Amino acid sequence: MDTPLSARRLADTAALLADPTRAAICLALLDGRAWTAGELARHAAVAAPTATGHLNRLVAAGLLAEERQGRHRYLRLAGPTAAELVEVLAQFTGGPPPVATSLRAARQSGELARARTCYDHLAGALGVTVTEAMTARGLLDDRHGLALTPAGADWLAATGITVAPARRAAVRGCLDFTERRPHLAGAVGAALCAHALTAGWLERRPDSRAVRVTATGERALHDLLGVRWADVRPAR
């Protein structure tokens, strides 16, 4: 039976993310990269001292990790567990996406919906399409939640994708908040995303979680999974 102390700790953690500034900071860090305190302040549209107070609270709670290089303070989500917490809460926002109020905002929204990173794995229409293609080819089994098949393990090895040992599930389905269908998360999802970036299949958009598929990536997706980038479109 849960104790009053554990209930209080749960409430305290939930309260941290109930603040719009801290929520904006955590959502920005879902791109898996480390941001400077100044970058996070500008992203959240608050003054640097205000951002510092919020960041200190998130670090103290164990949601963010920090490191210093010279005068700069870099912050990132503390790990997959912290990222999964933010992801799950984002899925409960519900309702239609906000209406873009400018051409730039509409373009950015479209890029994020088509292909983005969700902490350390692929998301958006691309992430869902890749997951479904892997399932159709017997690389993943979705009968009882996503699971890697023996054929999938062989495919990863043949493709040169190394899955690092980790204290996390090898494969996990993560409900995509724009597609409303699961994309591949877990250690395998992270390894696939890392390989795609390192191999030059994907390029990150500046100051965004959105990614772009390169010409090399288009060939790899088609040759390995039968996925045509031109056909990858966000759900309407």
Closest to 155 (Cα-Cα) out of 120, 184, 179, 115: 184
Reported as a single tens digit per residue, the pLDDT across 44-81 is: 999 999 999 999 999 999 999 998 888 888 999 988 88
Say what the pLDDT of residue 145 is: 86
Domains of the chain: 4-91 (1.10.10.10), 103-231 (no CATH)
pTM for this predicted structure? 0.75
Q: Say how far apart CA 66 and CA 34 lie, in whole Å.
A: 8
Contacts of 105 (CB under 8 A, 6+ apart): none
Average pLDDT over residues 137-163: 95
Q: Is 2 exposed, middle or buried (0-12, 13-18, 19+ CB in 10 A)?
A: exposed
Reported as a single tens digit per residue, the pLDDT across 123-141 is: 999 999 999 999 999 999 9
Residue 102 scores a pLDDT above 80: no
217 pLDDT band, cuts 50/70/90, is very high
Say what the pLDDT of residue 71 is: 82
